[in-house]
Each structure stands twice: as C-alpha cells, then as structure tokens.
A and B are shown apart, each in its own frame.
Chain A
C-alpha cells in the first residue's frame, strides 16, 4: 500500500510568496494531521482533520497559514505571505482514526529566503 504522499519534497522561495504544500493520505484513513518540525520548537501539531473537517487548528501560527481538505484523499497547507521564520520541515500524517498510530509522509523541507 502507498504511504502518505507529500509534495513537493523541497521548496525554496522568496519571502512574500505564496507557498502551497500538498498531502495525499493513506486510502481509508479518516484522520489527517499537519505538523511542523524546527530545531527550536521540535514537532508541533498545526491542524487536525477528521472526516475532512478541521477539528483543531489551535496550532496554526497565525492568519498567514491556512489548511483545507476538500476530499478524503487530498489536503493542502498554504502560507501567504511566507516569511523566513516559516522555514521548517512540514509533515503530513494520517491515521485510521484519531487514536490509531499516525503514519507520516516524507515531509516537505521549506526554505524561505
């Protein structure tokens, strides 16, 4: 079975540009999570969807960040406008349900210049 698929794997862009990260969860999983990993703050949950509905977005840093899940097989995390402090590795994870083990994608390394 295919795992969680994220794209792009790397993204380098200039400050102020819009960035869109994409995620395809494992088929049949109904929970989806976006995490951010930095040296300073470690792994942080940004937002959690259950059955395509955002349940908890309290980890979203500010209004520049938005996430959508239009269907069960696709989610996006958008940053607009991007800032250098947004540079991090962004992971998407999915699970059969909220308390089942989460399976992570390979992450997107984002660099904002």
Chain B
C-alpha cells in the first residue's frame, strides 16, 4: 500500500532564512508523481510544486524547490528566503498513475511557523 511519511510535525524558520521539510514515500509503482501542497489557516489547499518520478531534474518554482531522491524514496521541499506568508501546514502527496484510481495519498503534514 502507498504510504507517505512526514516526520516533522512542526518546523520553525526565521524570516528570510531557508528551511527544508522532509517527506518519504513508499510505492511499488514505477510511474508516479509527487506534490507539495500548502494549507494556510484559511484552509485552502494550494499546489506548491510537482515532480514527475521519471524526471531526474529537481522541480523548482520561484523560492520553492525539491530534492527528489528516487532510490531513497525521499522528496523534500526547500523554501528559500522565507516570508511570513509561507506560514502554513505543508502536505506531501503521492499519486500513482495507471492504476484504477489515480489517488492522491497525503502525508500527515508539517506545520511551518515563520518568525519575524
């Protein structure tokens, strides 16, 4: 069964600093996608970044980048130049492609606090 593990329930970072959120996953599939979603207190689920498993190059979106280690099944999110608006719950998620259900499996989340 697919599982996604976020081992850091809470993290804190100073404004303008860099923080890395960890995520590991477990799948037997060869085709899959990985995502990071952000959930601020407003409870919206906002897509931050996406990584296709077949791509070796790490995805980057402005201040957000990932470190994708396929062999280790690790998918960490790095936030550079942290801003107060980055404070939120961050969820890592995996999507297997090609099965009967293209189901997103979420981790339990990491609550990120940004200190001014």
Contacts and interface: CB of A to CB of B under 8 A. Distances in A.
B101 A56 contact: yes
A101 B97 contact: no
B45 interface: yes
B33 A99 contact: yes
Contact of A45 (B100, B104, B109): B104
Contacts of B97: 98-99
A56 B35 contact: no
Given A31-B102, A56-B101, A43 B91 contact: yes
B102 A99 contact: yes
B103 A102 contact: no
A49 B33 CA distance: 19
B63 to A, nearest CB: 19
Contacts of A43: 91, 104, 106
Contacts, number: 48
A91 B115 CA distance: 30
Interface of A is mostly: strand
Nearest to A47: B101
B44 A101 contact: no
B109 A103 contact: no
Contacts of B107: 42
Interface string A11-27: 00000000000000000
A107 B46 CA distance: 12
B95 A99 contact: yes
Nearest to B49: A101
B108 interface: yes
A9 to B, nearest CB: 10
B33 to A, nearest CB: 6
Given A91-B45, A104-B44, A55 B91 contact: no
Given A101-B50, A107-B43, A56 B103 contact: yes
Interface of B: 33, 35, 37, 42-47, 50, 91, 95, 97, 100-104, 106-109
12 contacts: A42-B106, A42-B107, A42-B109, A56-B103, A98-B102, A99-B102, A104-B44, A104-B45, A106-B42, A106-B43, A106-B44, A107-B43
